[in-house]
Amino acid sequence: MKKEQQMATSILENIGGKDNLQKIMFCQTRLRLSINKKDNADLAELKKINGVMGVVDDDTLQIVVGPGTVNKVADELSALTGLAIGEEKNPDDLTLEEQAAINKQKIKSKTKKTPIKQLLRKIGNIFIPLIPGLVASGLINGIANFAINAGADPKSTLLSILVLIGSSLFTFLAILVGWNTAKEFNGTPVLGAIMGMILFNPALANITIYGEALTPGRGGLFGVIFAAWLITVVEKQVRKGVPNSVDIIITPLISLLVVGLLSLYAIQPLFGVFTDGITNGIQAILNVGGVVAGAVLAGFFLPLVMVGLHQGLTPIHLDLIHQFGYTSLLPVLAMAGAGQVGAAIAIYVKTKNQKLRNNIKGGLPVGFLGIGEPLLYGVTLPLGRPFVTACIGAAFGGAFQAVMHTGAVGIGVSGLSLIPLIAQNKYVYYFIGLVIAYAAGFIFTYLFGYNEKMAENIK
């Protein structure tokens, strides 16, 4: 039996069997499983499975297995359960007891979270399925821009094709965000997609409301998310009063007309102000706050990654790119992973624990490329103090990036992988920031963050 098959089988056994599994999703490094009865899952045994680096118990059960492996384990789980990835088990197939357990779990989950955490989680769920496309498109764009900056002819056929391939997702991203939002809130996905089409439609420039021509894309992806959520709410309310025989005609018609008009007259203007406030605010914080702002943002980002809420920042990065052409926030936050790489290297130099050394050897290559979960769950977090010194290392790198005003024209990657996406030819500045974070993470961990007694926590 292949390693991934063994992992999938063991995971299924320790979450209460296939009948307890409601939905299979995954991101770059984590399986995200919706299960009916959390009490039936044995978290301690899940952590002991060979290949599992960590477990986060949240509204979805997050099992960290690392990049590449996560796709294969998800496929194996799908084969074992017959549940397609991203597909939710039909409520009609559930027993009354299972339905009651799901409802109880949802209520329990909501009471445990703050509204901010719930919002970030929902936003993360909207963007997680888009990450592979964002990564691929961003890198292709980065390669094309790198070539143009190096002197290549931007009108050449090859570069024009690369720009087309790399920019297509970003051109129509609002449609996919609208689709995923409606799906996340149990509405009709195509209605959510239409809201994205409306709010980013170039034809908006020909419409005048409140004495001003509308601006395509104003309000950003936050506006799309709100409009797509609202249409799911309206759709459900309309459906209650519509006869079944005409539901397929009347419900979407009324929902689209009502929310479509609201989007132009209220949602876009309001979220235009909201989005401008966020993006201009972040730029001002980094420009005015400089060293302090960069250090604080980078230093506190790793805890956000720890609980899986970092994906909730995706629309902020994308709206920054939409408004300014780049995101100043991403290079700063990317230093969190770099500080952790430096910490891991320091531990590798000091420790004689073979299990710990193996964890570091396995996690460092992807750590340099900006995927930090293997080192986070396999090394720094279990040890405790190195997690803190990694954050300190990140703060030094973040401070430098803020002072140098580095930015990124794409998202989805960090670490060394982000270099081709750095804006305004500031590749060297970004790399120097990485080296500073590596060095600070190493120095603080080597001097203050690790002693061999800590390795007893690694099993």
How far is the C-alpha of 176 from the C-alpha of 160, rounded, in Å?
A: 24
CB-based contact 393:440 (threshold 8 Å): yes
CB atoms within 10 A of CB 321: 22
Sign of CA dihedral 13, 17, 18, 24: negative
Q: Classify residue 126 as exposed, middle or buried by CB count within 10 Å of its CB (0-12, 13-18, 19+).
A: buried
How far is the C-alpha of 122 from the C-alpha of 116, rounded, in Å?
A: 10
How far is the C-alpha of 457 from the C-alpha of 459, rounded, in Å?
A: 6
Give residue 193's identity as a one-letter amino acid code: A
Q: Tokens 């391939």: give the residue.
A: 165
Q: Which of 8, 15, 21, 27 is catalytic?
A: 27
Q: Is 27 a catalytic residue?
A: yes
Q: Tokens 């290549």: give the residue.
A: 152
Sign of CA dihedral 124, 126, 132, 135: negative
* Phi, psi angles (nearest 5°) of residue 296: -65, -45
219-238 burial code (b ≥16 CB/10 A, e <16): bbbbbbbbbbbbbbebbeeb
The catalytic residue positions are 27
